[in-house]
Amino acid sequence: MTELSIQYLVSGGVITNYNCPSRCGHCLYNCGPHRSKDYLDADTAKDIFRCIADLGCRSVHIGGGEPLLDVEKLLEVLEVADNIGVAIDYVETNSSWFKDQHHAASLLNRLLAVGVDTLLVSISPFHNAHIPYSRVQGVLDACQSSGMQVFPWKSDFIPDIRAMDENQTHSMADFEKAFGPNYLQSTLERYWIHLGGRALTTMAHAYPLYSVEEIMEKSPANCANSLADTSHFHIDLYGKYIPGLCAGLVIDMNDLGRPLSPGKYPLLEQLTAGGINELHNLASNEFGFSPQKKDYLNHCELCTEIRCFLINDSKLQFRELNPGGFYAEFAR
With binding defined as CB under 6 A, does residue 299 bind ligand SF4? yes
With binding defined as CB under 6 A, does residue 170 bind ligand SF4? no
CA distance 140 to 163: 18
Q: In Å, what is the CA distance from 22 to each residue of 134, 169, 237?
A: 15, 11, 19
Q: Tell me which residues in 19-38 interact with ligand SF4 (CB under 6 A).
A: 20, 22-24, 27, 31-32
Burial track 188-206 (b if 16+ CB lie within 10 A, e otherwise): beebebebbbbbbebbeee
Structural element, H or E, at residue 150: strand 149-153
With binding defined as CB under 6 A, does residue 223 bind ligand SF4? yes
- In the complex with ligand SF4, the residue whose CB is nearer, 78 or 303, is 303
Binder among 17, 44, 94, 128 for ligand SF4 (CB under 6 A): 94
- In the complex with ligand SF4, the residue whose CB is nearer, 53 or 204, is 204
Strand, helix or coil at 120?
strand
298 burial class (0-12, 13-18, 19+ CB within 10 angstroms)? buried
Structural element, H or E, at residue 149: strand 149-153
With binding defined as CB under 6 A, does residue 203 bind ligand SF4? no
Q: Which of 331, 307, 303 is nearest to 320 (CA)?
A: 307
Q: Which of 305, 285, 286, 287 is nearest to 295 (CA)?
A: 305
- In the complex with ligand SF4, the residue whose CB is nearer, 44 or 94, is 94
With binding defined as CB under 6 A, does residue 232 bind ligand SF4? no
CA distance 324 to 308: 10
- In the complex with ligand SF4, the residue whose CB is nearer, 160 or 305, is 305
- In the complex with ligand SF4, the residue whose CB is nearer, 116 or 248, is 248
Please choose, out of 82-90, 160-168, 222-230, 309-317, the segment that lies near ligand SF4 by the rule CB under 6 A.
Answer: 222-230
- In the complex with ligand SF4, the residue whose CB is nearer, 27 or 250, is 27
| Interface ranges with ligand SF4 (CB under 6 A) | 20, 22-24, 27, 31-32, 64-66, 94, 122, 127, 223, 226-227, 244, 246, 271, 275-276, 299-300, 303
